[in-house]
Structure 1
Amino acid sequence: MTVPALSSDVVETATLCAEIARVQIRPHFRKPIGIENKEDASPVTLADRAAEQAMRDIISQNHPDHGILGEEYGQSAGQGDWTWVLDPIDGTRAFITGRPSFTTLIALLYCGRPVLSLIDQPLTGERWLGRAGAPTCFEGASFPGQVGTRACGSLAEAELSCTSPDMLIPPFDGRFASLKQKVRRTSWGGDAYGYGLLALGQIDLIAECTMKPWDWAALVPIIEGAGGFISDWQGNPLTLDSDGTVLACGSLSLQEEAVSALRASF
């Protein structure tokens, strides 16, 4: 599939969305805020909803023919091949417990393929920008970092990360356990922030499951633009019909080893 060249206005829209999300989110951090549980038992706050609505307003004004898919307000159909995918606060549990590891995720899909993405941390000012076929860009004045996945020779030397063991429901728990046995160390927590760290060479691989499109769409161009690889646990490209598994690795050889390990429980 040939992807049209991205215009500067869509990059500007993504940036504006990140800025307005910061405005909506930052005043509520470590402050009393109402928390509701959604049908899947995940928490949601006023900050989540206000940030998504503000981003939707910007997109609708700048690109009225584009579709929008957001975690809080669902799908609004567009008239063409372009769809924005939004997660206003990825890591709401971190946000409501005062941990600055949550992020805002913004992605633009062309015919279902992520071609532009942004990970933004509203408090630290860290921001990753990815575009299909281009190197990932990173801004982080307070916490500088060099974009690029690090060389890791094998799973035995690898740092593995996953947001929470609670997401590893059967049959994914057994498959993850097979991978965990082969790595040097496993750390927990981080949500999408962990993928930003992988793009900076701080983590070698991440394996997660039960992921929705708004959880993974913004990760793809950023990981690939940093020299990494991202797929499902079978090694297939992520699509809107994927099974919810996500595997991000710093190198192709590491991905091949990890896919093999994740199949070991079958």
Structure 2
Amino acid sequence: MQCLDEYVSFAEHLADLVRPVLIEAYETGFDYEKKGDGSPVTEIDKRIEAILRKEILVHYPEHGILGEEFGSQGLDKDFIWVIDPIDGTRSFTAGLPTFGSLIALCYLEKPVLGIIEAPIARLRAVGVTGRPTLCNGKPVRVRDCLMLEQAVLSDWTNNAQKPDEPGAERLKNAVNWSVRDGGCIGYISLARGFIDLCIDGNLDAYDFCALVPVIEGAGGVITDWNGLPLKLSSGPLVVAAGSVVCHEQAMQLLQKNLTSEI
């Protein structure tokens, strides 16, 4: 991990490449098609991932890559870059600003660096293991909510996979109020201390790896619904909280219906 500063600088360079592409596409429009699972994909998703993959291979050919659109290569490597070119493609295609790009670096499967680049919201969160999370270059911190009835929740809305709907509904009914499908912006808001909980039920590695260092570096907790740390092979159930107490209370409600398979 001696080159961590170098990797952070490179990851921010990747985010710099993403930003103008997303802004231009959002302002000028684009076409999209549906994947086999019914989710949308755009030419912009593919273009961004191709740009990032090319840049990574030029600078770090010895590293592996996992991306949403073009699969994986070198997953046996110690360092693996994990890319979600557009997190929140549904919002993106609908012209809504709640989307961003996720860039992460995993070392021995553990996420050690994560960037959430949300250009329309004018936000960039950078999380690095052992360091405070920065949002637009300034340190941010979660708020210490100790009671679920005072908490604000960001919940997911994708109906394709809801493995434990009763648990999610119990949690939604227990909190003060909730927002639907905040996506990666929700996790930035948690890190900034605006909300207290985020839950998701259908995430792949490229959806959550970048979130881990961002939330942890802001003082929060992020795990799967069994309370296990997230790594490259984790998923699809993710819960993040601003405080340990709030996380534990949320877990009690989410776990009631979990089977041994989850």
Q: Give me the TM-score of the superposition, normalised by structure 1.
A: 0.92
- Written as runs of structure 1 = structure 2, the 5 A alignment for 1:48-59 is 48-59=45-56
Matched, 1:153 2:146: yes
Query: What is the CA deviation profile of residues 207-251 of structure 1, one whole-angstrom value per residue up to 9, with x for unaligned ones?
Result: 111110010000000000000000011111112332410000001
Task: Tell me the TM-score normalised to structure 2 length.
Answer: 0.93
Structure 1 counterpart of 2:247? 255
Mapping 1:162-241, distance limit 5 Å: 162-164=155-157, 166=159, 169=162, 171-241=163-233
Query: Within the alignment, does 1:117 sit opposite 2:114 as a pair?
Result: yes
Rate the CA distance shift 1:235–1:164 in 2: closer, same or farther, 3 A.
same
**Offset from partner CA, 1:48-81 (integer Å, 9 cap, x none):** 1111111111111111100010001110116730
Q: CA deviation at 1:130?
A: 0.5
Structure 2 stretches lacking a partner, 5+ long: none
Residue 165 of structure 1: how far off its partner (Å) = 5.4
Three-state SS of the structure 1 residue aligned to 2:209 is helix
* Correspondence for 2:67: 70
Structure 1 residues not aligned, in runs of 5+: none
Q: CA deviation at 1:134?
A: 0.8
- Look up the match of 1:139: 136
> 3-state SS of the aligned residue for 2:169?
helix
CA gap 1:6/1:162 in 2 versus in 1, 3 angstroms: farther
- Tell me the percent identity: 39
> Match for residue 94 of structure 1?
91
Answer whether contact 2:133 2:139 (CA < 8 A) is retained: no
Asked whether the equivalents of residues 105 and 117 of structure 1 are also in contact (C-alpha less than 8 Å), the reply is: yes
What's the offset of the Cα at 1:168?
Answer: 5.3
CA distance in 2, matches of 1:176, 1:167: 15
What's the RMSD between the two structures over aligned residues?
A: 1.7
Specify the SS of the correspondent of 2:212.
helix
Q: 1-side partners of 2:145 and 2:3: how far apart?
A: 33
Task: Kindly state the Cα deviation for residue 146 of structure 1 after the two structures are TM-superposed.
Answer: 6.2
Tell me if structure 2 keeps the 8 A contact 1:132–1:225.
Answer: yes
